[in-house]
Amino acid sequence: MAVVTFWLFAGTVGTVAPKILENVNTGGHTFISLQQMNLAVSITALFSGMFIVVMGRTADRMGRVRVTLVGLVLGIIGSALVMLASGAAALWLMLVGRAIQGLSAACIMPASMALVKTYWDGKGRQRAVSMWSIGSWGGSGLAAIFGGIVASNIGWQWIFGTSIAVSVVSFFMILGTPESKVEQREKSAFDVLGLVLFLVSVLALMIVLIFGKQLGWVSPMTLGLSAIAIVGLTVFVLWEKRQAAPFVDFALFRNTTFTGATISNFILNATIGLLIVSQQMLQKARTPGAPDYVSAFQAGLLTIGYAVAIIAFIRVGEKLLQRFGPRKPMMWGSIIVALTCVLLIPTWVLLSQYKILAAVAYTLFGLGLAFYATPSTDAALSNLPADQAGAGAGIYKMASSLGGAIGAAVSLAIFTGFLGQGSILGETVHFEGVQGNIDLRQAGMFVMVFNLLLCLGAMLSIALTVPKGGGSRDLNKVAVAPTPAPQLPPDDAKAAILSRLSALSLADLEAVEKAALLNQLGKADPKVLQQLVATMRE
């Protein structure tokens, strides 16, 4: 239920954005512009992505149950602010509330995933991951239809009122759960500079993506922010690799399976833009009052297949994982999402025909994500060391959140960028039916092509990083010589090293221990070493 508070309720804003603008901008006043609403759509996932690793590490140290409960309280506060968004204060209430919802997700996602890894193993963990995925992916599947029904019948504010109620129930259900945290052997300073570099770079990038058209794509402001994003991210990576306790531990990416799961997770989450844009395109294809106008409720109804497929087939993804290992179902899921994009590209057909294509495409979208979700999540969790479960899960879910935020922002930027541009394709494509919305349909087509390219990128990352095999069909063994080479999960690798060391004599073990201590001394501060030597001489 804690996971649902973000994916089901906070995730509805992209779908009901036109309804929110219509309700807030009353009396001839524009309190929230279209570009500002696009920022409100993306800012939740953005804040989630920026702070999720921090909260994952915090959960490891302070307690995963405690951080989950803090996340629920933040979710209640954020939802209340969004509900109150109206009048002159609408913009700031909306943006601050959505940002706090992102912080809430940053607490809940990694902490709850780490609890799954801590309390379950093997098939039990895979089943728990499936249940967790139903809350996240399933919640996102129901978001469009739930948001459409509530916004069209009783008002969009009640979406967040329901979120508050569910958060309260979830809080008391979790309260009293045995705490889980990592015993800290040594204290390390928090990587403040790494966090600042990351925040500044990602914020600069998001401002360019969302407000680039309004600022001018080649204006000094846009070019300056682009330079800040590029240079900042470059310096961030170089800085993190030199830190003993980095904000993002790039050492985790030495395991190619974790790398493949995280990269493909980022890319496939970015395809959420196809759902947001296609829903907005359907609602804007006709003016309100027209005979074939598609309301938020009607557009949401088309996503029923998406919701049903993702919830019904999550467990199928789990069975595919157990039989084939993670690589094949992750690849199959990506291919099916690519087919979704193909079905949504022909915006030149009549609106009645496109609604049929959209209904089928949304169902395939849900099916593809259902096949992908559990294998990818389990591949990431099973390749994390136990003492970095929260931090590693934070990196994985950061990929989800930033993928969704950046993917939605880019898709919306492409969509709004081509609105009002007239016919760019000329006679290349013949648009049937109403001719007054060609720019809208053309913009939607370009967005779907972009998302198709994302799917191809996800397939490539899986093919290059995730080893073959690993399921019951392969006797739970990865291929002898796959590309890439298989790697043991960190905990298994540690156990293998300890097994080899157990065969050594006591004298050899003492020599190994001495070498390890000398290695640690070599990393110590020179002043500390000088004091140690002086003490020994005394």
Q: What is the pLDDT of residue 263?
A: 92
- pLDDT (tens digit, 9 = 90+) per residue, 161-188? 888 888 899 899 888 888 877 666 556 6
**CA–CA distance, 410 with 460 (Å, rounded to integer):** 21
* Contact status, residue 99 vs residue 204, Cβ threshold 8 Å: no
Residue-by-residue DSSP string for 304-341 = HHHHHHHHHHHHHHHHHHHHH-SHHHHHHHHHHHHHHH
C-beta neighbour count of 433 within 10 angstroms: 16
Which pair of structure tokens corresponds to residue 107? 């607490």
Residue-by-residue DSSP string for 474-500 = GTT-B-SS-SSPP---HHHHHHHHHHH
Q: What is the pLDDT of residue 363?
A: 93
Return the C-alpha torsion angle 426, 432, 433, 435, nearest 10: -10
Domains of the chain listed by start with CATH number: 1-175 (1.20.1250.20), 192-248 (no CATH), 255-469 (1.20.1250.20), 504-537 (no CATH)
**CA–CA distance, 73 with 101 (Å, rounded to integer):** 10
Q: What is the pLDDT of residue 256?
A: 82
* Contact status, residue 398 vs residue 54, Cβ threshold 8 Å: no
* Contact status, residue 170 vs residue 111, Cβ threshold 8 Å: no
Q: What is the pLDDT of residue 387?
A: 64
Q: What is the pLDDT of residue 343?
A: 95
Tally of residues, the chain: 538
Q: What is the pLDDT of residue 485?
A: 47
- pLDDT (tens digit, 9 = 90+) per residue, 47-100? 877 787 778 778 877 888 889 899 999 989 999 999 898 888 888 999 999 999
Q: How does DSSP classify residue 219?
A: S
Name the residue with tokens 């879910």: 397
- Beta strand segments in 361-473, E: none
256 phi and psi angles, rounded to 5 deg: -65, -30
SS3 for 120?
A: coil
**CA–CA distance, 201 with 178 (Å, rounded to integer):** 38
Q: What is the pLDDT of residue 341?
A: 95
Q: Which residues of the chain have pLDDT under 50?
A: 471-476, 479-487
**CA–CA distance, 254 with 297 (Å, rounded to integer):** 46
* Contact status, residue 294 vs residue 286, Cβ threshold 8 Å: yes
Q: What is the pLDDT of residue 391?
A: 66
